[in-house]
Structure 1
Amino acid sequence: MFFWTHDVAAAPGRRGIRFAITSRHGGRSEPPFGTMNLGGRLDDPAAVEANRTAVASAFDLPRERLLFMEQCHSADVARADGPWEGAAPRVDALVSTRGDVALAALSADCVPVLLADPVAGVVGAVHAGRPGMVARVVDRAVDALVEAGADPAETLAVVGPSVCGRCYEVPEGMRAEAAAVSPTSATVSWSGTPAIDVAAGVVDQLSAHGIRVTWVPGCTRESPHLYSYRRDGSTGRFAGIVRLVPEDAS
């Protein structure tokens, strides 16, 4: 079910945090979405919902408290104070101060970013594709965390696996656009053609805020344990998930 997990233990004056990156294994979806697909519109909705329920249970939550977004490659952020009433918000970042929800960012090559200030008790989940990185969705998410009480100096960031720069070949103009926002994102592919390392750009943006970053190794296109649109075309979605541990469970 999980590709990577990390728990930050509670301490005096600091909340516990649970971070996770799901894998494509251990769920109910059939090929080509097998098996732990958490998103997308082409898979059997019942299978996706069963997979989401299993992940929520692993986070000790009922299904409705594992919160997803209607991701749209924007720089918009929404506050998450409980289960959605109606459709999920059409945004690419969520922020919460609640310990009774978990926030999820879906990916199949884009960068899932998880944020947490254990002192202030604020968490966030960000979907950062190339358009979002260029639009500075990470900066907008950090601003929203600060508005909710977080301190960048106390904030931890997890940058999940994504398509690596060597596998993300793009036209020269697209690379130049990304480089104008984050020069470290400009790179070359395995064959020496223009390419973008979106995760490197995201790490650069987080570091500019003084945030400590854990960059989880792995290229989605190269790993059989993760979904990749660039590799497979029709495919599922894995997720980065973060939860603030309730104070009475710390």
Structure 2
Amino acid sequence: MTLEILTSDLLAPVHHGFFTRRGGASSGIFEGLNCGMGSSDQSEIVAINRQRVADAMEVDIAHLASVHQVHSADVHTATGPITGERPRTDAIVTNQPGLALSILTADCQPVLFSDPEAGVIGAAHAGWCGALDGILETTTEAMEALGASRANIRAVIGPCISQSAYEVGPEFLDNFLAEDPENSRFFANGEGDRMLFDLPAYGLHRLRRAGVGEAEWIRHCTYADADRFYSYRRTTHAKEADYGRLISCIRL
């Protein structure tokens, strides 16, 4: 099966892609393009999957840059291939042609950024914690440090969990109300004391509040479409032992 790569006109002509799970070498619960080096999938199979991604991005595997994601608001500025221990951050930015920035997700938001005029790109992993702590803003600031202009930055949120599938408790809501009481608009009533959180709408809000020129969500829910996407929450509900990780990439 060939790779399935979702793209956005907003980021064109910069080479980018939100890869689905289709077209990979993994099997079993990881069936498809599992690119999670931290998963319990066979490491040699994950390496094959990552090589397929590098080929699709037209870079050497050494130029497929990734970080050790920790749900933070920290950003790594890449001046060349990442060697040795990967930085413990949740976003990467660069102005170096030929370097593909990659982010792994399985319900969290993969966000790809580009200022085509300045020749600066970024990729961020934005779950609820990272988004609340400011990962989208710090990625924007790191791009500015490389010469990007907020007004020229285009940001696209890839496949992530949608509101209808994202049930949370009252403590979760309290975290967001403490940051801004108006964040209540990103929550809908669920059953009992449960609420439904709109992660991509919150991500778009933070991007626009940061002054990003254009931003959109490509409107694919990871939880709802098991044939195309991995989902941590769906795996948890199914009581499966582990889950695959989707990869999203961008390069100049």
Regarding TM over 0.5, the answer is: yes
Task: Give the conservation status (yes or no) of the 8 Å contact 2:26–2:34.
Answer: yes
CA distance in 2, matches of 1:189, 1:56: 42
Task: Give the conservation status (yes or no) of the 8 Å contact 1:38–1:48.
Answer: yes
Structure 1 residues 140-190: Cα deviation after superposition (integer angstroms, max 9, x where no partner): 111111111100111110111111122111111211212444616631266
Structure 1 pair 167–190 and aligned structure 2 pair: CA distance change class (3 A): farther
- Residue of structure 2 in register with 1:239 after alignment: 247
More off after superposition, 182-191 vs 168-177: 182-191
Structure 1 alignment gaps of length 5 or more: 10-15, 245-250
Aligned partner (choices 90, 96, 99) of residue 98 of structure 1: 96
- Residue of structure 2 in register with 1:53 after alignment: 51
Which 4+ stretches in 1 moved above 6 angstroms? none
How many pairs align? 238
Amino acid at match of 2:84: G
Deviation at residue 200 of structure 1 after TM alignment: 1.4
CA distance in 1, matches of 2:114, 2:54: 19
Structure 1 pair 99–158 and aligned structure 2 pair: CA distance change class (3 A): same
CA distance in 1, matches of 2:185, 2:153: 23
- Residue of structure 1 in register with 2:223 after alignment: 221
Deviation at residue 128 of structure 1 after TM alignment: 0.5
CA distance in 1, matches of 2:98, 2:219: 29
Task: Give the conservation status (yes or no) of the 8 Å contact 1:185–1:199.
Answer: no
Structure 2 alignment gaps of length 5 or more: 237-241
Q: Please, what TM-score do these two structures have when normalized by structure 1?
A: 0.90
Q: Please, what TM-score do these two structures have when normalized by structure 2?
A: 0.89
Structure 1 pair 185–27 and aligned structure 2 pair: CA distance change class (3 A): farther
Equivalences for 1:120-139 in 2 at 5 Å?
Answer: 120-139=118-137
Task: Give the conservation status (yes or no) of the 8 Å contact 1:81–1:96.
Answer: yes
Higher helix share: 2
The answer as to 2:195 corresponding to 1:187 is: no
The answer as to 2:49 corresponding to 1:29 is: no
- SS of structure 1 residue aligned to 2:221: coil
Structure 1 residues 14-63: Cα deviation after superposition (integer angstroms, max 9, x where no partner): xx411210011111111110110011321111111111111111111111
